[in-house]
Amino acid sequence: MQRTVLLLVVAAVVASAGLASVGAAQSGAGLPAGGFDQMDVSPDDILIEASVQPDGDAVWETQYRIRLASDDEEQAFEELRADVESDPDAYTSRFGDRMRATADAAENATGREMGVTNVTVTAERRELPQSYGVLTYRFEWSNFAAVEDDRLRVGDAVDALFLDETTSLIVSWPDGYRLGEASPSPTETRESAVVWEGPVDFTEGEPRVTIEPDGLAAGPLLFVGLGLLAAIVAAIVYRRRPWDRSVPGETPPATPEATKSDEAAATGGAAAGDGAGDEPGGTDDGASTTEGSEPEDDADESPDEGAPPVDEDLLSNEEQVIRLVEGNGGRMKQQRVAEELDWTAAKTSQVVTGLRDEGDLDGFRLGRENVLSLPEYDAAAEGDADAGDGADDDTE
């Protein structure tokens, strides 16, 4: 049995040539004679992990595990462990040579200067949960991954690697990084690693893993997301509000209709005293005829660009109606309110009725239309001769 376990050590070194074969195809070195199929034993499984660092270096760990199913196997492995601890160089020398040959071939293929250093070996017994003897090689591989714009691109140094049915490959990364993409699809994706379980025959250009800093991946997406959100909000505001509204509590900016109302109110008395109203077709009659026809449409067509938009989600239904009427010069058709707010007629009527009951809005009939106005709005100054007709006939 001692011979069997010692053969495991030799097999482990030869197994490392499986990685060396990645560069062998390029260098023509080939594999050493012999292999697991010509030996008495083989490891029950082989675990290869490459822990990639931010600078592109990687810490490699290769574990060769054999199950200790009998007392003889356990005793033989204990003797092997003692031998490894007493003379580790006998084990690391050959393994290191094979991995350095692999790195040299990868350097020629990628153009990145590479090196294998700090090769160590340990032998220990583990319960997994069965008892296993584990022979572990560790080493550092400089420039194993390519670094591009803070992204780590892994895999070109082991292009077209082959994993038999006993072997698994793990590529892991440090905190602060995340997986960008992996090809081919891993057997398992963990929080900070991807795993391929053999048998896997990676083709040319595989395996490949892209690792990104968390901030690098999230930053541009965050800005794009905020930009899209702003565009959506702007589109909604534009669709429902063709122009900006004044902020509640502030004096709304003057509109052409409001300006004419103020001028008419200021000059009305003087005009009457001058006798202008006695002239056929005079100023008062003209204002009544011309401006009283469709004044609310003129107000609707006069955008106010003076105030910044306000988030409608922060306004109550009542505040939205008041704000909308204010922005239309103090008067607005109830049907237009429903269209602008994208409300049903029933909801609009309910909100408007509450505002009228509270004295925050007035209403009157203009033809067959219900018209809403602010309490301080002077309909007479607009020349609405029929403003008072049917004021209480609102049926909505």
Kindly report, residue by residue over 96-129, the tens digit of the pLDDT: 999 999 999 999 999 999 999 999 999 999 988 8
State the first-to-last Cα distance of the chain, in angstroms, to the nearest integer: 98
Going from the C-alpha of 197 to that of each of 15, 182, 194, 383, the distances in angstroms are: 16, 14, 10, 86
Predicted confidence band of residue 364 (pLDDT cuts 50, 70, 90): confident
Least confident range from 172-176, 232-236, 244-248: namely: 244-248
Mean pLDDT of 288-316: 53
Predicted confidence band of residue 232 (pLDDT cuts 50, 70, 90): low
**pLDDT tops 70 at residue 24:** no
Which pLDDT value is given to residue 40? 41
Mean pLDDT of 137-151: 95
CB atoms within 10 A of CB 240: 14
**pLDDT tops 90 at residue 178:** yes
Mean pLDDT of 32-57: 70
CA dist 327 and 177 (Å) reads 51
For helices 334-341 and 345-357, the axis angle rounded to 10 degrees is 120
CA dist 362 and 386 (Å) reads 15
Predicted confidence band of residue 284 (pLDDT cuts 50, 70, 90): very low
- Phi first, then psi, for residue 343 (nearest 5°) are -105, 160
Give percent of the chain above pLDDT 90.
Answer: 39
Secondary structure element (H or E) that encloses residue 49, with its range? strand 45-52
- Phi first, then psi, for residue 152 (nearest 5°) are -110, 125
**pLDDT tops 80 at residue 245:** no
Which pLDDT value is given to residue 27? 32
In this structure, are residues 312 and 237 in contact, taking their beta carbons and an 8 Å threshold?
A: yes
Indicate the SS3 state at residue 135.
strand
Specify whether domain 241-382 bears CATH 1.10.10.10: yes
Domain with CATH 1.10.10.10 in the chain: 241-382
CA dist 252 and 376 (Å) reads 13
* Maximum average pLDDT range among 32-41, 85-94, 259-268: 85-94
Secondary structure element (H or E) that encloses residue 122, with its range? strand 115-127
HSE, CB side, 13 Å, CA atoms: give it for residue 291. Answer: 22
**pLDDT tops 90 at residue 87:** yes
Indicate the SS3 state at residue 11.
helix
Nearest to 120 by CA among 92, 162, 100: 92
CB atoms within 10 A of CB 151: 16
Predicted confidence band of residue 5 (pLDDT cuts 50, 70, 90): very low
Mean pLDDT of 288-294: 44
Predicted confidence band of residue 230 (pLDDT cuts 50, 70, 90): low
Mean pLDDT of the chain: 73
**pLDDT tops 90 at residue 298:** no
CB atoms within 10 A of CB 65: 19
Which pLDDT value is given to residue 117? 96
**pLDDT tops 50 at residue 157:** yes
Strands (E), 143-189: 146-148, 151-154, 162-163, 167-172, 177-183, 188-189
With left for phi above 0 and alpha for psi between -120 and 50, is residue 113 left, alpha or beta?
A: beta
**pLDDT tops 80 at residue 269:** no
**pLDDT tops 80 at residue 181:** yes
